Chain A
Amino acid sequence: MGLRESLARYAVRSAHVLVAEAPGANWHTRVTVERHVLARGWRLASSPADADVLAVCGVPGTELAGALDLVWDQLPGPRSRVRVDGPDTAATALEQAERDLLDESAQRDDSRSRPTTPDMDHGGDGDGDMDHGDMDHGDMDHGDMDMAPGGIPLAGGGQDRDGLEMDVLHLRLGPVLPYWPAGLVLRCSLQGDVIVEAEAHVVDADPHAPHHGHAAGPIGNDDHDSAAIFAARRCDNAANLLALAGWEEAATRARSLRDRLVDGADAGVAAASVAELSRRVARSRLLRWSLRRLRPLCEADLEAHGLPSHLLGDPRDRLLAILDRARGALHGSVDTSAARREGVTPGVLPHLVTGLDLATARLVVASLDLEPLGTSQEPAHA
């Protein structure tokens, strides 16, 4: 065992894993993968540059597979890609990933096979509008100006919310994004970091399927899910919102609650823990200040967009409502199948998100407590 190998072994002890979830019935798989990652002392990656392992949960469709290839290209070496088909294969998949990372010769071959110049076929979604706005061209020397530096066309300008003429940037949120509903893609036009236009769809959407009007749950076994799983999903969404709000301790607590519920903890004890978390969240003044008045939804808004009544108020109210519903499910006072049917469709997202900046938009989307998305949604525009 040479120095290099022992260093590699040491390095792999702290690997970072980027978890990608295919929409469908893969929530359980993703949750199990996250548990195993954290239990090994590894961490969850926040971006491809941060990741050593790309763990794909479930079978990706064509669009998602394309996105995953893009993400895979962005992982710096040494890297490993594993597919996790079900919760039971999570541990073995991660061990396989560890073996891949330690396999020096394979990693060297992998690094040799990577291109050194960028592949511009995937180029951004930017439209090649070369409008210079009011720039005075007077006696400026245009001789050696490159209109598309690096091969990416420049952004065009446009009026924005505050009266500045900011460039329009096209950015896609999802489908591989931490703390983001699996399979959701939100194509945004940004000016600065304010979203001026958005369009939402779910990857690998089947355009010929009838539009259900409500979020279909994961295909298949959702109706047989128990109250515990319902509560676990709520805790998962709450953990996402708390992590986006930057409160790591509360997010970790919510995540461990989710894990305990998935394992089948006693309903009474779990309900008490949820109540404890809910109290902590309600007491935090910093969180209240941070989340206040961000796209508050009044009754009229709920009516107009066809949203369920528990989404009333601002994101903090919605967070507390999520935890209340979890507790209610465990006590048996919430009708989980009815609640699941009246979920939020992705179609309403563009309306709620325009005019907000990226951070606020992420918080608002997380606060809507989306059920795991099926693959039979139609794309919707705003």
Chain B
Amino acid sequence: MVVDVAFWVLSVLAVLGGAAVFYVDSMARATYALALSFIAVGLVALLLQQNYVGVVTILMMVMEMAVMAVYMVMFMGMNPALMPMSMVHGKRMAMAAAGGVFALLASGILLVDWPSRRGAPAGDVTMALGEELMGPKMLAMAVVSPVMVATIVAGVVLAAHRTRYDRMGDDLRRRPADDPQPGGVGR
């Protein structure tokens, strides 16, 4: 009973948090409304007894929102956070697309003949999850993360306007590197 009430409260909170992202007029509030929505989803996962998934969702999403604050200032300056701005663009098209997708998904959920459950969940859900990931899917899991990190790093390197030739001279031999401010390890 308590679990049911908690589930509904958290779900409503998640949806409202997501909606608030577009309703508020400051980037920082939008970021943290999104964080609130994700935390609610993580708590719902905890209620479904998926402890690991729930906690990891909360952890990663909050860290992402904090990092988003760094990107926000880097690319947009502080104005979007302070200046009341509208978060919605191209309203008509977005409304049409959102309404259409919602109708499609809702009708799918309600009309599809869902199969009944076969068997019972494993005794140790986390262990089962771990074995599933480390077993047949291990290659995918192990490769996905480094690829993502490499993409991010490559994107930043491509965007930076100082290359390593600027830093270390044409023969890449100048040490310490010519940085406006030195880093910590003296590279």
Contact = CB atoms under 8 A, between A and B. Distances in A.
Given A161-B180, A293-B182, A355-B180, A154 B90 contact: no
B3 interface: no
B83 A145 contact: yes
Q: Interface SS of chain B: helix, strand, loop or mixed?
A: loop
Interface residues of A, number: 30
Contact of A145 (B78, B85, B162, B176): B85
Given A165-B77, A166-B77, A293-B182, 4 more contacts: A140-B86, A146-B84, A149-B82, A161-B180
Contact of B83 (A141, A146, A192, A356): A146
30 contacts: A133-B77, A138-B90, A139-B89, A140-B86, A140-B89, A141-B86, A141-B88, A145-B83, A145-B84, A145-B85, A146-B83, A146-B84, A147-B83, A149-B82, A162-B160, A162-B161, A162-B162, A162-B180, A163-B160, A163-B162, A164-B74, A164-B75, A165-B77, A167-B77, A167-B79, A192-B73, A294-B181, A355-B180, A356-B181, A360-B181
A167 B83 CA distance: 13
A98 B71 CA distance: 47
Interface string A160-197: 01111111000000000000000000000000100000
Contacts of A161: 180
Contacts of B82: 149, 154
Nearest to A360: B181
A289 interface: yes
B85 A357 contact: no
Contacts of A165: 77
Nearest to A168: B77
A155 interface: yes
Interface in A200-238: none
Given A138-B89, A144-B84, A155 B180 contact: no
